[in-house]
Amino acid sequence: MSQTANGRAGGAGGGARGTAAEAEALPGADARAATLRDGAAERDRAARVPVDELAALGRSGLLGLTVPARFGGADVSTVTLVEVFRRLAAADPSVAQVPQNHYVFVSVLRHDGTEEQQRRLLGEVLAGARFGNALSERGTRHVMDMRTRLLPAADGTLRLNGTKYYCTGALTARWIPVFALDERDRLVVAYVPRDAAGVEVLQDWTAFGQRATMSGTTRLVDVAVAPENVVAHWHTYERPQVAGAFGQILHAAIDVGIAGAALADGARFVRDKARPWFEAAEERAADEPHVLLRFGQLGARVHAAEALLRRAAEALDAAGAEGPPPSAEAAGAASLAVAEAKAFGGDVAVEVASEIFGLMGASAADAAHDLDRHWRNARTHTLHDPARWKYVHNGNHIINGVLPPNHGLI
């Protein structure tokens, strides 16, 4: 990507929407995807931390895609960003998932950060810094029950204490944004340097899928936090918002990318390696009508998932995902569109990644091909939050006209 597109040129003209900066985003994503695709199976087998790949992502300028133009960022549309994620995920969904929360915390700064916070922290992003995350906690009553606290100490400093899990990207990030409650039980985001005293990021991620994300534990013990690095995030949920939907649609793009990759790899295996069933009249498995029928059905579902994904991204742009607060109706409509795309896209990813094995034959189960990574990745990533509730909220709106709840997971 050019100096203007990746933001390093600076200045107010650094790539507003509809300019060359937006046009360069997808070729930039394709270039990254081309370098990721060949090593994806090896990284999955070894559960290797993709240090070099993430460093290259930082150098590519893609991390600055959503930084406002007035700070020198590309300021791309949600439609473009979502397509970037889909293409990266089709190449390697583990690497694609690592920056998902990066863009979420760029958005937090855009919506809730002060002008000084935006200029300083987003300036680091344009220089290649990446945000990790420390959001979720284990062992609490439910996902919204948070124990991590940012409280004033006796000496007047702010101190952060808690234990987080599913900290995708924290291990190799420059900054770790942390969800915490302040002394009035309000939600804040503390932007903590990865190398700050009291921060410990463990390599204890042992899930069977999305192995290279290293989404394990972060321990925060009496971490000193500068007040200028704390963002009052509770303001987001005092008004209609699509902040939650913005994070959700990036997850949806990863699932749809996995579905497309599984379909393509399955087709390639059938075409190049699979044998026809002995009862078939055809000489190649790739010509069996039953195989063609099922691939046609799966392909239609993948294409439907891609269309719903784009529709949802367009709804977010229309609601102003990176602009002023939308109306309750606009926020609700966009959130429901994202919920539908994410629920359906996740279902399709799991289905396609499983169904292709019945069409490829027993030899496809050989670990040498690592084709099971598509199912393992899809099944693991779609556990992020349950699709059943997304369908329920959509159904409640269809039947009863009820808008979805105003929280960060729809």
Q: Beta strand 187-193 with 158-164: parallel, antiparallel or unpaired?
A: unpaired
Alpha-carbon distance of 170 to 163, in angstroms, equals 13
Nearest alpha carbon to residue 79 among 327, 332, 329, 338: 338
In sequence order, the β-bridge partners of residue 313 are none
Alpha-carbon distance of 181 to 28, in angstroms, equals 38
Residue whose token pair is 């239609």: 300
Alpha-carbon distance of 96 to 86, in angstroms, equals 8
Please give the structure tokens belonging to residue 376: 């393992």
**pLDDT of amino acid 12:** 31
Model pTM score: 0.94
Alpha-carbon distance of 167 to 174, in angstroms, equals 13
* Averaged pLDDT of the chain: 94
DSSP alpha helices (H): ranges in 320-371? 328-360
Q: Given its phi and psi angles, is residue 370 left (phi above 0), alpha (psi -120 to 50 degrees) or beta?
A: left
DSSP alpha helices (H): ranges in 148-288? 243-272
Burial tier of 185 (Cβ tally within 10 Å: 0-12, 13-18, 19+): exposed
Alpha-carbon distance of 189 to 180, in angstroms, equals 6
Contact between residue 206 and residue 160 where contact means Cβ atoms under 8 Å apart = no
Alpha-carbon distance of 309 to 330, in angstroms, equals 17
Alpha-carbon distance of 410 to 53, in angstroms, equals 30
**pLDDT of amino acid 9:** 32
Euclidean distance between the first and the last CA atom of the chain, given in angstroms as a whole number: 32
Residues 115-169: tens digit of each pLDDT: 999 999 999 999 999 999 999 999 999 999 999 999 999 999 999 999 999 999 9
**pLDDT of amino acid 2:** 39
Residues of the chain short of pLDDT 50, as ranges, are 2-16, 18
Alpha-carbon distance of 305 to 263, in angstroms, equals 13
Contact between residue 213 and residue 97 where contact means Cβ atoms under 8 Å apart = yes
**pLDDT of amino acid 22:** 82
